[in-house]
Amino acid sequence: NAGVTQTPKFQVLKTGQSMTLQCAQDMNHNSMYWYRQDPGMGLRLIYYSASEGTTDKGEVPNGYNVSRLNKREFSLRLESAAPSQTSVYFCASSEGSSTETQYFGPGTRLLVL
Amino acid sequence: RKEVEQDPGPFNVPEGATVAFNCTYSNSASQSFFWYRQDCRKEPKLLMSVYSSGNEDGRFTAQLNRASQYISLLIRDSKLSDSATYLCVVNQENRDDKIIFGKGTRLHILP
* Mean pLDDT over the full length of chain A: 94
Q: What distances in angstroms separate CA B64 from CA A84, B21, B106, one per listed residue?
A: 36, 12, 21
* The amino acid at A23: C
pLDDT over 80 (residue B1): no
| Minimum-distance CB partner of B96 among A58, A99, A103 | A58
Where does the pLDDT of residue B95 fall: very low under 50, low under 70, confident under 90, or very high at 90 and above? low
pLDDT over 90 (residue A99): no
pLDDT over 80 (residue A53): yes
Integer Cα distance of A111 and A85 in angstroms:
8
Residue B44, pLDDT score: 96
Residues of B in contact with A57 (CB under 8 A): 96
- Inter-chain CB proximity B43 and A43 less than 8 Å: no
Q: Which range has the top average pLDDT, A94-98, B25-29, B86-90?
A: B86-90
Where does the pLDDT of residue B15 fall: very low under 50, low under 70, confident under 90, or very high at 90 and above? very high
Integer Cα distance of B86 and B23 in angstroms:
10
Residues of A in contact with B50 (CB under 8 A): none
Kindly compute the dihedral angle of the four CA atoms of residues B4, B8, B12, B18, in this order, to the nearest 10 degrees. -10
Rounded to a whole number, what is the distance in Å from the CA of B34 to chain A's nearest CA?
A: 8
* The amino acid at A67: S
Residue A69, pLDDT score: 87
* The amino acid at B70: Y
Residue A102 forms contact with B (CB below 8 Å):
yes
Residue B20 forms contact with A (CB below 8 Å):
no
What φ, ψ does residue B62 adopt, rounded to 5°? -115, 140
Query: Are B94 and B102 contacting, i.e. CB atoms less than 8 angstroms apart?
Result: no
- Inter-chain CB proximity A43 and B87 less than 8 Å: yes
pLDDT over 60 (residue B29): yes
Query: Are B88 and B23 contacting, i.e. CB atoms less than 8 angstroms apart?
Result: yes
pLDDT over 90 (residue A28): yes
- Inter-chain CB proximity A97 and B104 less than 8 Å: no
Residue A2, pLDDT score: 83
Residue B103, pLDDT score: 93
Integer Cα distance of A22 and B69 in angstroms:
37
Query: Are B22 and B11 contacting, i.e. CB atoms less than 8 angstroms apart?
Result: no
